[in-house]
Each structure stands twice: as structure tokens, then as C-alpha cells.
A and B are shown apart, each in its own frame.
Chain A
Amino acid sequence: MTTANPLLTRDVRDLAESSLAEFARLCQARLGGGERLVTLFGRPDGAHDARTPGDIVVTAVFESAGGSLEVLRARAEPGARYPALTVDHPAAQIYERELWEQTGLQPDGHPWLKPVRFEGERQQHMADYPFFKVRGQEVHEVGVGPIHAGVIEPGHFRFMCLGEKVHHLEIQLGYQHRGAENLLLQRPPMALAPVVESICGDSCIAYAWSYCAAVEALSDRPVPFETDVLRGIALEMERIAMHVATLNGLATDIAFLQGTGTYGRLRTAVINASQRVSGNRFGRGWLRPGRARGLTDALRQDLRQTLTDFARDLAGINDLMCSALSVKARFQGTGVVSTKAARELGLVGLAARASGVAVDVRSQLPGRLYDRLPIEARVEQSGDCWARMLLRMREIDASLAWLFKVLGDDELDLAGGDSLLAPDTPLRPDALCVSLIEGVRGPVVQVLETSDQGHLLHYKVQDPSLPNWFGLAMAVRDNEISDFPICNKSFDLSYCGNDL
């Protein structure tokens, strides 16, 4: 049985282009059959052939139950309409909204057709967002943001409250939109790593890996297994560092200051180790097309020692945090997202796993790395802030176990090698590459398409936060508004990842 791969390359000439109506029907059938919609997006068709310029080419990627990635394509006229998938399958909601916002195609009957990030002509119209309102004398409406009290990215949260209880939360994003997808088409494809790393700076390893794997596949230049191992090391260090940051934030938000102090300095230890390897606390520059910075014997031992000390002290503070009654009182039963809701909304990554939905690219699409060196995917069932806290603690433990195993395996040569792909390395023409990496929050999805000349035609970037913000909105319902900060922190989603 072949291993399911998190990367798929297809020749676009082999991909049949349906009509938009037929495409919608095919997507409905797949969603109805239980397949997971990984992404759905469109791009304007350049006038590369005799067909009418101005068409929209639509791409959908599904993950079948058997663990394979499959692509559907359609061609539509500008402004065309089709029956919205969201009506029967809410998991499609954000992708159809983005498709509408980016291409103008109209999903008829979509119950929530609102801007995703106010890009293009909608820029600076943040005030025009059509919030749902609850009418009534006792209803009060609270608006928070875009700028918030702490050091955090901007987003607007509009609460409709009855007393202290939140009846409805609506989240409006787009403040961080910088035009990243367009920027990726402005520079040589082999030179995009610094840009990719800046789209979502706290997940730069996941983003860089997704990108590197894609351009390596598109240039038919696979990397050695050991390069993937090094990338896996970088990724798990990023995961640990960000999970500790979230635990720090959760502790701070409930004034559990021992947690604040301890998780804070523990994070420092991990990111300083990443800096010793890569020159940067976030791991920028660690990965480039064709290579990953290697570990000398000294650095390898350095990492093992750092992580050993880290693991010991982390266990102590985790234990303390989990046994404190004040922590339990705040987190248990707060911000619940049921398994049913998580599944129906198409939540991904950590937020889904905390609600009992076992989705993880590393276990479902392991590829050669996680096939040979598996990492245990953890799941919690209660879907509350407590689950999202506990799951992070457990994921750090799983990451540490993986890292100790890999770093301690003398058969693995982790010295790295200088096999950087030259800036002018050509890409395969007429190719579509779908590249997934399980980042801290969930699957980072990047889809690259080349023209018949081998130029980059389109670069779709999708952060796991894109579908997950809706999960936060659901989590806060029927909770007290004063619990919003811990709900938000327990998801710890990316604003800039959503906004691009």
C-alpha cells in the first residue's frame, strides 16, 4: 500500500475542466460522500490560449477517506452563479466567500456571504461589514478592536449580548491584508522563501516547508530524506515554541502568574535554540529550496540538552497548571465546540482535534517522513478551553518524544548539505502542485500553478486559521463575555494568516 502524500503534482492538461454547474454538483457529491474539502479557490485566466480572457479557473482539492488528495477543475465566465455548497455543507462557507471576494463568482443561497479580508476594491471599507444584529430592548452590542489592549494583531469582534451572556459573536478580519498572494508572483519562484516566511511569521517553518516542497516538486529536484528530517525537527521546535506561547497567554489571561513567568522563560529556551541553529528565533532562513540548515554534532547535542532541561521544567509547570482549581474553574466547560459542530464547520488542526475530530496531515498524509518516523496525533473530546490547553501540553510531549528519537538516532546523518536550488532553476510547465504541512494551528496549504512557459501563474496560500475563526465564534456563544479572551487565546489563531 502506497503511503498517502501531503504533496500532489498534476499536469493541468490532464485535469478536465467542468462547467461551473457540473463542478458544483461534483463537489456536492464528494462532500456528501464524506470527503474533506481541503481548499477551493479561483484565479483569473490569463489569455494564454485562444479562449476568452476573463474566464475564472476554479480549483477544488479534496482529501478522500482513503487518504489521497484529488483535484477538480472548472472554468466559469466572470460573474457566473452556482448553487452554494455551504447550504448543505457549512464546511465550505469560508472558501466560497473567498472565491466570491477574489473572483466575483456568486454562490447562490450562501447564508453568510460576507467579505473575508476586504481585498481589492473592498479595501478600506471595513465599516461596511454587514454584521448580523439581534433586536431587542435588553440586547446590547459590544464591539472590540481592531486594536486590542495587548500586543496582538488587529481584528474586530462584534458581540450581541443579553446581560453578560454572548448570544452571537461575529468576527471581522482583513485589517492585516498586505497582498501576499500577488507579491508571490512578482519575484523569481526560487527566491520566494523570505516572502513566504513573512506571511505568517510565527509559522514560518511550516510555510517555508510547504513552499520548498512545492518548488522542489515542480522543478523535479527532490531532496534527500535527511533534509526532510531536518525540516521535521524545525517544524516540531516551532510547534513547541508556539504551544508554549499559547500556554503562557492562557495563564496570563486568568492571572495565573507562575504560568506566565515559567512558560515565558521556557519559550525563550526553545527559540534561542532555534536561533543557534538557524540564526533566527523563529527559524527564518532555516529552510530554503533544496536544503535545510544542518546540525553539527555540537548543535545536535545542544538541542538534546536544551530539550531535556525544557521537558523537565515544563512537566512541573504543566502539572501545577492542571492541578490548580482556579485554572480548572475558568477553563473547564468554557468555550465548548462540540464534535458535531467542529466536523460540520470543517475545523482543522488543533481546534478540531480538541473537539474530538482526528485530523492531522502528519498522520493522514504522512509522506515518506512520517511514514518512517511517525508522530502520534493526540485528540481531546471536551472541546472546551481546557481541552485546547491540555491538547497543547500533550502535543508538546509528542513533539519532544519525536525530537529525542530523531536526535538520538545515530543512523540519521543530520549534518545537512549545501544543495540549494539555483535561482534560475526552471519549473515544470502546465503543472499544479498542492503542498500541505501540519503547522502549529493546522494544515498550511499552498497551491502553485505554472503556465505553459513554466512561469508561476498562481500561488494560493491558505492558513489553517481561515476555516477556524468560525470555530471561535461558535465557541463563545452562550458564554460570558468576560470569557472571550480565554476563548480567543485557547484558539490562538492567526490574523495575518487569514488576511494574507
Chain B
Amino acid sequence: MFNFPKSIAVRKAQGSQYIPDLRAAVPGGFRGKPVIGAADCESACQACESACPSRAITLDPVRIDMGRCVLCGDCETACPSAKIGFNSDVKLASTTREGLTISAAHPDIDPIKVSAELRRRYGRSLKLRSVSAGGCNGCEMEINALGNVNFDLGRYGIDIVASPRHADGLVLSGPISRNMVNALQICWDAMPEPKLVIAVGACAISGGVFADCEPVDRRFLETFKPSLYIPGCPTHPLVFIAGVMDLLGIEV
């Protein structure tokens, strides 16, 4: 006989796990966004640029491309003038690739303009197909977490679906390994119009640490441009959620 008392005990311990206001949730300790100080760099110093594993940093002035940034923090460690720090900001997503660059003069990602068209079409239901094209399982696990009892993205009608036939959007993770090029295209072709691409994580946005590797072929994204770029390594669920909610104009 099924153990009723045990089941009740577990149910009671579980309680209510969902985060009521996803906008207000703060990820404790999250190394989320670089903060670049305004003071001058030491003369001829290239420490941060050299330390960066994904060529996210350019100098004069110091700029960090969040589409390449893997949030490793090695630039912070390398900087002799303590110019670079990190905060837990989750508003990192952008609808344009160029919008992902931050600097001392431009410390925040530009706010996402709600698209009335996307809001009308997907504001109450957005079904997503996930494709990992060379991902390391970091972004994939965080994408999975979106549907858990804490984040419960399904509350907005945003779900991961099992078939491209059912999908409105492709959630792409990974730098696009050459061995996945054909499968990715087949999946995209199988999705009915209208459809969009969401690039999740540094690898998907720019190739990340694998950008210059020979077995990576990113031409798919030259033809099918993402509607949303969500930085991270891996992308924290709250960053994904902030980005998608902003895109669709969902307030809470």
C-alpha cells in the first residue's frame, strides 16, 4: 500500500517553492555583471585583456562584450588597479549583438524595447525547442531549471516542448559544433513560421571560449539572427527570465 504518511510529510516539507516575484529575486553571490571603474588604467597595462579566455575585453577605454564574457572573474583578479568588479545584476539580455558591450561610460545593457508584435503573438504562450550544439551541459541544465518549482516559467505559458513542430522559438546553446550543423538546420526547418532564435550563453552568442576552434561552424547564425541574446556561462535562470519577460513585456 502506498505510504500515505510519508507522502504527506514530503508534501509538507516541500511547502510552496515558487518564487512569487521573479523580478524581485536576487541571486545571492552571483558573479553576474562586470562593473568597470572610471579611473585611468595603468600605462600600457593589458592585464585584463590577456587574462580573458574569450577575447571579451578591448582597451582604451576598457570595454567588455557580454556576448563573449564567460563571467570567470579572471580579469578582476588580474587587474592591478582594482578597476573591474562584479555585481549580481540579472538584466544582461539584449535584442542586438552590439547592445551587449559595457564600459565605465555605458555600464548597463540598454533596456529591451518591448515588441508589440512579439507581445501580441507570444505574450501568453511561447513554446521553445532547445538545441545544444556543442554545449557543455551548463546552459542546458540552467534551461532545464527554468521549468522547476522555483522558477516555474510555465506560469507565463513559456515551456520547453518536445518537438520543433510545436515550437515558436529555438533556444540555442553551445558554439555550434560542425558535427551539429546539419541537425540544427533540420530542426530549424521543421519549425513552422513564425519562429525566432534565442541565443543562450556566451558560446551561442559568440562561440565563447571555443570561438576560434576549427571544429566550430557558426554560419547558421549569420542567416538566422537571434531575436534575443542572453549572456552567461552558464546563463543564470533569472537572467534568461528577465530577458524573455522584458522581450514580451511581461511585468510580473
A positions within 8 Å CB-CB of B: 118-119, 123-124, 126, 146-147, 149-154, 174-180, 182-183, 186-187, 191, 193-195, 197-202, 204, 245, 258, 261-262, 264-265, 268, 272, 275-282, 284-285, 288, 312-313, 316-317, 319-320, 323-325, 420, 423, 494-496, 499
Contact = CB atoms under 8 A, between A and B. Distances in A.
The 6 closest A-B pairs by CB, nearest first: A279-B31, A201-B138, A201-B136, A149-B162, A276-B29, A194-B53
A262 B10 contact: yes
Contact of A277 (B2, B29, B139): B29
B161 to A, nearest CB: 9
A147 B172 CA distance: 12
Interface in B129-168: 130-145, 148-150, 160, 162-163
Contacts of A261: 14, 17, 148-149
Given A151-B143, A176-B180, A194-B53, A182 B214 contact: yes
A423 B214 CA distance: 26
B160 to A, nearest CB: 6
B209 to A, nearest CB: 5
B9 A316 contact: yes
Contacts of A153: 132, 135, 137, 140
Given A279-B30, A323-B6, A176 B53 contact: no
A496 B177 CA distance: 11
Contacts of B142: 281
B89 interface: no
A198 B143 contact: no
B137 A496 contact: yes
A280 B202 CA distance: 15
Contacts of B7: 258, 320
Given A124-B179, A201-B234, A275-B29, A152 B140 contact: yes
Interface stretch (B66-74, B111-119, B219-227, B243-251): B66-74
Given A123-B215, A272-B28, A198 B208 contact: yes
A179 B181 contact: no
B236 interface: yes
Contacts of A313: 13-14
Contact of B210 (A198, A276, A494): A198
Contact of B150 (A179, A265, A319): A265
Given A276-B29, A420-B77, A176 B179 contact: yes
B148 A178 contact: no
B7 to A, nearest CB: 6
B196 interface: no
25 contacts: A147-B131, A150-B130, A150-B162, A153-B132, A154-B133, A176-B177, A176-B180, A177-B134, A177-B177, A179-B210, A179-B215, A186-B212, A191-B50, A194-B74, A195-B53, A198-B209, A200-B137, A202-B138, A279-B29, A312-B13, A316-B10, A320-B6, A323-B3, A323-B6, A423-B51
Contacts of A277: 29
Nearest to A321: B10
Contact of B130 (A151, A174, A281): A151
B43 interface: no
B213 interface: yes
B183 interface: yes
Nearest to B180: A175
B186 to A, nearest CB: 8
A165 to B, nearest CB: 25
Interface in B72-131: 72-74, 77-78, 86, 130-131
Interface of B: 2-3, 6-7, 9-11, 13-14, 17, 27-31, 50-51, 53-54, 70-74, 77-78, 86, 130-145, 148-150, 160, 162-163, 174-175, 177-183, 187, 203, 208-210, 212-216, 233-234, 236
B8 to A, nearest CB: 10
B149 A264 contact: yes
Given A201-B137, A265-B150, A268-B148, A118 B179 contact: yes
Given A177-B179, A258-B7, A316 B137 contact: no
A258 B11 contact: yes
Contacts of B174: 176
B2 A264 contact: no
Nearest to B54: A194
Contacts of B236: 281
A424 to B, nearest CB: 10
A175 B177 contact: yes
Contact of A147 (B27, B187, B216): B187
A178 B10 contact: no
A207 to B, nearest CB: 10
Contact of A282 (B29, B138, B183): B138
Contact of B183 (A146, A178, A180): A146
Contacts of B210: 178-180, 183, 198
Given A178-B216, A261-B148, A281-B142, 17 more contacts: A123-B215, A150-B162, A154-B132, A179-B216, A198-B209, A201-B136, A268-B148, A268-B150, A272-B28, A275-B29, A281-B234, A284-B233, A288-B74, A312-B13, A316-B13, A495-B137, A496-B136
Given A175-B179, A202-B141, A420-B77, A496 B134 contact: yes
A285 B51 CA distance: 13
Contacts of A245: 141
Most buried by A among B13, B137, B213: B137
B135 A265 contact: no
Nearest to A242: B141
Contacts of A199: 136
B180 A154 contact: yes
A176 B135 contact: yes
B234 A176 contact: no
A3 B162 CA distance: 50
A178 B177 CA distance: 6
B96 to A, nearest CB: 25
B179 A284 contact: no
B6 to A, nearest CB: 5
Contact of A265 (B14, B54, B70): B14
A245 to B, nearest CB: 7
A276 B27 CA distance: 9
Most buried by B among A186, A197, A494: A197
Contacts of A272: 27-28
Nearest to A496: B136
A325 B216 CA distance: 47
